[in-house]
Amino acid sequence: MYQRDRESVPNVRMVLAGVAMAFVVAAASNAGPPVDCGPDDTGRRCEPTVCDGAGTTCVPTCIRHDPFSGSNTILACSCSGETSCHAEIAPGSPLGCVVPEDGTGTVHLPPSGCAYISPIGDTMRIVDGLPIGSTVECAPTHHNFLCGLNSVCSFAVPSGPICYAPGGSLGGEKSCANSTLNWQMQGTGAYAAYSRILNIPVDIEIHAAPRTPGNPFQSFNTDMSRMFGQILGDPDFDLLRVVAGTDFGLPSPGHTTLTQLPGSQWAVDSFFDITYRIDFVGKAGGPFSGRSGSTTGTIRISTGGGPRCVSSCFPGFECRQTVTVNPNGTYDVCCECVSIPCEPEPDGSACKLAMCGPFRSCTPRCLTLNPGTDQVFVTDCTCREQGECSAVQIHPGATACVQPNDFTGTVHLPPTACDYRSANYQPMQIIDGLPPFSTIDCMPTHFNFSCAANAVCSFATPIGPICYAPGGSLGGEKSCANSTLNLVMQGTGAMGAFNRNINVPIAFEVHTAPRVLFSAEQGFNTDMFRFFGQITGDPDFDLLRFVAGTDFGLPSPGHTTLTQLPGGNWAVDSFFDVTYRIDFVGRPGGSLSGRSGSTTGVVRLATGGGVACEGMCPPGYTCFKQLTVNPSGTITYCCDCITDCVCRGDMNGDTKLNGKDIQQFVDCWVNYFGGYIDAPCVCADMDSDGVLSDTDVNLFATKLLTDPDNLCP
């Protein structure tokens, strides 16, 4: 047998390794330079490339859009996962949509001169009523929008060229227009030979969410509220009808983005996801003779087709879209993952989910209340520890309360222009006397206040329109009034079929603590002293009685805050934690026949939108609420932990500010590096702003040198 020389083995291995290396070098030289992740020569796609990391591909990050032609050019790409933040050319209209500025700082829908079409290959279709496997595909173009009265409009359209008015289901504006729905119709299956172009007159109503006119970039939700069109007596159809719109039970939401261009023009990128219904009755002797049907489907129609940022980022980051408008009217949309800042959401509904660090979260620091609508918006956020001082809305479910100025320097309860409702949507309940596990939930509204003497009043009410007098259990004033307690009643359990809406006449007396008249902000305790009302001879109740009030042994304390608004009117934030008793006797033959009972419970009745500061602060600090009345009539409430010190500058606690405090003050100031002030140093915060600064040094020196006795406070 042949035996290999062992000494030759290493030499052979070296030779083979050299040959293999030569092949690798040759292959690399023949392959050319590596392909970078970037746009191809046409700018229509990113170059295919093998990116580092599993599951990553070369995707667009910046796209230039020409709103006049609807064309898009990819400017930059990067290696990223398909679910990571990147730019995408919106499927849909290849048509541009540019609308001239009309002097209102925005674009009102529908955009005149533009057309909405569907993505290529996506059509409206007729299916029902045709042979199995057959359809009529209808490629839509929705265009020719004209301002005018139409059959579907739910409101009176203003006269002239204005089709829109404030309001609508999204709270911004609503608009009506006449239009044309062009269909390029092509049959399939048994109707493969059918081909036709048809124009259908269509009336529409569009609702839009609020936006800020004048902003160069406006993005808002929209809704095709109503859409209706039909033709009669056509050669192919006795009836061909198209219906869509959320108000017709066919949800059709959408979104619109407006970008301001040079030359006082606006680029419009708008779409609707329309749920439609097509009804048809074939014409005798035509291709659909003897056929009829009703087909429902969904299709996206859009105009503009600008790029947008899609997908997501790692927790704590958001997919940020940056829009840059170029001098020639094109604009660039670039997308990148950026750290989420601790700031309010664009709609002011909450703070963003920013990453604030361990045991910290992004929480509301300031809330702004519109007392005319009771809407509350988050206007400032900050990173704070869990449970730390922050601004919260109290008693949601209450309604707005603005009381006219009567020039007495305050508001006397009850506020006649307002309603008290259940805070947090908590009902009053009837339980006792009902079958086990059953209740009758009574959602209360206390309203219709009128000044008058009544059966429960403990004092002689002044004559005339004045319901109040000095005194009462809280030492301020007392007042009496008649009112109505509206109850939306719904049974549960065995009483699930019970449903009523009942008004109960109520007489009541309110006591309030003293307040400083004519002060711009007045806060004082209140008490529902007496509260009584009943009905008899009702179809369901021989007796239904409501009793509450501290003087009846049912404690019902409360609090009221009054804030004077520009113009003199008062914003009222008022509540009572009412302990109530409901007594009932069922009517023979009624749904509660043979039943009776007495149920006691507690419910908060509130009016106005209250904001409170809640949470803890470090030792030496207190959670403080600062109120600012804005020129618009809104009220901003901000909550901060401020130093809680009885005597500013008294560092050793001897109730004096003198030379004995200097060394400790200097030590605190020198060793302070930001953040909360250590508890032993809180009294060095001379201006109570929560930080130590040069201002505190100057104030400390001034007080030390100029205060004649240096006593505290």
Q: Do residues 150 and 226 share a domain? A: yes
Q: Do residues 509 and 650 share a domain? A: no
DSSP for 145-158, written as a single string: EE-S--TT-SS-PP
Instruction: Indicate whether 395 belongs to any domain.
Output: no
Instruction: Indicate whether 61 belongs to any domain.
Output: no
Instruction: Indicate whether 663 belongs to any domain.
Output: yes
Q: Do residues 130 and 185 share a domain? A: yes
The CATH number of residue 701's host domain is: 1.10.1330.10
pLDDT tens readout for residues 321-355: 999 999 999 999 999 988 889 999 988 999 998 88
Q: Do residues 569 and 650 share a domain? A: no
pLDDT tens readout for residues 567-604: 899 989 999 999 999 999 999 999 999 999 999 999 99
Q: Do residues 519 and 453 share a domain? A: yes
Q: pLDDT value at position 27? A: 35
Question: Whole-prediction pTM value?
Answer: 0.61
Instruction: Please name the helix (run of DSSP H) or strand (run of DSSP E) that holds residue 528, with its range, or none.
Output: strand 521-536
Instruction: Indicate whether 516 belongs to any domain.
Output: yes
Q: How far, in Å, are 83, 85, 228, 491, 687 from residue 496 at the CA level?
A: 47, 50, 40, 4, 61
Instruction: Indicate whether 669 belongs to any domain.
Output: yes
Instruction: Indicate whether 227 belongs to any domain.
Output: yes
Q: Do residues 685 and 589 share a domain? A: no
Q: Do residues 483 and 599 share a domain? A: yes
- Which of 236, 271, 305 delimits the end of a domain? 305
Q: Do residues 109 and 240 share a domain? A: yes
Torsion (CA) 283, 285, 289, 295 in degrees, nearest 10: -40
Measured over the CA atoms of residue 492, residue 495, residue 500 and residue 506, the dihedral's sign is negative
Q: pLDDT value at position 487? A: 97
Instruction: Indicate whether 77 belongs to any domain.
Output: no
| Count of the separate structural domains present in the chain | 3
Q: pLDDT value at position 89? A: 80
Cα gap 262→329, rounded to integer Å: 6
Q: Do residues 261 and 189 share a domain? A: yes
| Boundaries of domain holding 411 | 402-608
Cα gap 200→140, rounded to integer Å: 10
Instruction: Indicate whether 589 belongs to any domain.
Output: yes
Q: pLDDT value at position 148? A: 72
Q: pLDDT value at position 15? A: 32
Q: Do residues 443 and 561 share a domain? A: yes
Largest CA distance in the chain: 134
- Which of 305, 334, 360 delimits the end of a domain? 305
Instruction: Please name the helix (run of DSSP H) or strand (run of DSSP E) that holds residue 14, with its range, or none.
Output: helix 8-31
Give pLDDT < 70 ranges for the chain. 1-35, 50, 53-54, 82, 90-94, 159-160, 397, 463-464, 708-710, 713
- Which of 251, 270, 305 delimits the end of a domain? 305
Q: Do residues 670 and 594 share a domain? A: no
Q: pLDDT value at position 24? A: 33
Q: Do residues 543 and 444 share a domain? A: yes
Cα gap 195→186, rounded to integer Å: 5
